Structure 1
């Protein structure tokens, strides 16, 4: 290998807001170097999340991305090639799962730099694609259930009646599986074609979101929901409200301006029913817990589709479309 080729890698990047899949360009860029507390990974799989295209569209400006050009995507599985100063948990050759910094991205490339603090070991039983699906989607489901909805995943505590919307999507599929580790009754909504899948993940009741009951979100067994893990978009508070128990809450994992306004209004009126906007805070120990569950066969990553890096634009178009069943993976 000549010196030139050795220090360059293939990547996809975009140079301005907007443009969708067509805005992604195949480029050769220098392989990044790990700094203090970082590891350099050779990527084996990257999973896409809706936030990736939202950043490109400019919906999170001026925070994300920090600068252009930007290599998108953050959820990765790979092999440690090199460790930066101060790294103690990993060495070259270790297989890992990690989430990269959203400010910097870097997932749609051959190599990426990850913080040791957001990287966990990946046991040999877990294929790269399954591992790469976990970070943002799995951690969002975990945080919504354990922190916001108060579900204890060891099965203790009183029963919690849950509604999970868009249960066949990236976050929803993990939310159903994780919820059923706790003492819960799960009602889930999804499209007609995914009802059997969502039942197989453990949901007690499944609604086709296009039917009258699906539109009103009524539980077939007449239950009121203690918490809603809201993974869909475009459902107004007025649809949730009559279905909630006295202290029921809607945990909105993609809160927009309207959700934040509703949240403020409910606070002002001292309503016991609450809309809770959730911002994900990735934690290493929680990611480690999810990886262990996959290893033990208690959690699985449902994969919608896999694309080689040469067709990553197709994966991007698919995540923007919003109808994937489970996770979309780019895998060399």
Structure 2
């Protein structure tokens, strides 16, 4: 496809929000030896995408301009690099792109073979793309710091999931239940029944006095908190943690790192754990099979065409999506 042009959205500098995204015609990328070229069928947005644009993650992930954002894609393999062994043209796949390169808000993208997984026909492209960053983050938080066994054979633990109606939160509730956890969840009043439908045992409206203190209605202490909300200090959770409870912060900032260090130095049994998700193909394949088997569902907040992807971007920045925001060709 050398020499062909494609429609994409990109930004040329930090800041600007949805208005900073520009519709452009750029060359279709060519796959390197270990890459596959995908025709994109669905792209899922994550808060990290606009946080990178805003410059919030600049010390860790500096942008290379111009930048075509978004990292979670599903599509059809069009070409494979000379060193690719596991894929061929025509196969349906899902892939995780690097935040350093992005590329998801376009018609075509190149993806690393090692972070590309075949998509079962039972799983639609929007469902598959939505799983990548959010599903992998929820799975890693629950299995690594929280210590859940996803086959349900471990001892029952008490889990709190904040912002449980969002992208990571709605997966965390479902996966925690598969891991034999008692789940308390927080969300806004309009999403209480929705979060209950995901399997949460107790749901708190975060705007009520009970929700603001994160106190379990049944009086349980939390062995782990999957913390998906922003702007809430560790001290707000501490009274409701078990003796060696952990707060796992999926969006760690400077305050998180400082508290983490203090808790380590003082050898506190109650810990704040910053989570840095490491994408692995085998984990994505595991999640894909759970969706295929009907054990986990992807909830789509809204779908937007690529020609109006800035609307999806603005909705993500607004921060009140229920489930995942999807961009389609």
Q: TM-score, normalised by structure 2?
A: 0.98
Are 2:140 and 1:171 equivalent residues in the alignment?
no
Q: Secondary structure at the match of 1:134?
A: helix
- C-alpha offsets along residues 296-325 of structure 1, whole Å, 9 cap, x if unaligned? 001111100000011100000000011100
Cα separation, 1, equivalents of 2:67 and 2:179: 40
Contact 1:65 1:104 (C-alpha < 8 Å) held by counterparts: no
Cα separation, 2, equivalents of 1:258 and 1:99: 28
Q: Partner of 1:276 in structure 2?
A: 273
Q: Shift in Å at residue 9 of structure 1? A: 0.2
Q: Partner of 1:69 in structure 2?
A: 66
Contact 2:13 2:65 (C-alpha < 8 Å) held by counterparts: yes
- C-alpha offsets along residues 44-94 of structure 1, whole Å, 9 cap, x if unaligned? 000000000000001111443441000000000000000001111100000
| Residue segments in structure 2 that go unaligned for 5+ positions in a row | none
Q: Partner of 1:117 in structure 2?
A: 114
Are 2:186 and 1:189 equivalent residues in the alignment?
yes
Cα separation, 2, equivalents of 1:267 and 1:300: 37
Q: Partner of 2:40 in structure 1?
A: 43
Are 2:68 and 1:85 equivalent residues in the alignment?
no
Q: Partner of 1:256 in structure 2?
A: 253
Q: Secondary structure at the match of 1:180?
A: helix
Are 2:321 and 1:324 equivalent residues in the alignment?
yes
Q: Partner of 1:160 in structure 2?
A: 157
Are 2:22 and 1:30 equivalent residues in the alignment?
no
Q: 2:220 aligns with which of 217, 223, 226?
A: 223
Q: Shift in Å at residue 172 of structure 1? A: 0.2
Cα separation, 2, equivalents of 1:33 and 1:185: 48
Contact 2:52 2:63 (C-alpha < 8 Å) held by counterparts: no
Q: Secondary structure at the match of 1:148?
A: coil
Q: 2:123 aligns with which of 100, 117, 126?
A: 126
Q: Partner of 2:288 in structure 1?
A: 291
* Runs of at least 4 residues off by over 3 Å: none
Cα separation, 1, equivalents of 2:51 and 2:12: 15
Q: Shift in Å at residue 140 of structure 1? A: 0.1
| Residue segments in structure 1 that go unaligned for 5+ positions in a row | none
Are 2:232 and 1:235 equivalent residues in the alignment?
yes
Q: Secondary structure at the match of 1:298?
A: coil
Contact 1:315 1:328 (C-alpha < 8 Å) held by counterparts: yes
Q: 2:199 aligns with which of 202, 207, 219?
A: 202
Q: Partner of 1:59 in structure 2?
A: 56
Cα separation, 1, equivalents of 2:273 and 2:64: 31
Q: Partner of 1:135 in structure 2?
A: 132
Q: Shift in Å at residue 234 of structure 1? A: 1.1
Cα separation, 2, equivalents of 1:282 and 1:106: 17
Root mean square deviation of aligned Cα: 1.1
Cα separation, 2, equivalents of 1:280 and 1:184: 21
- C-alpha offsets along residues 111-147 of structure 1, whole Å, 9 cap, x if unaligned? 0000010010001111111111001000000000000
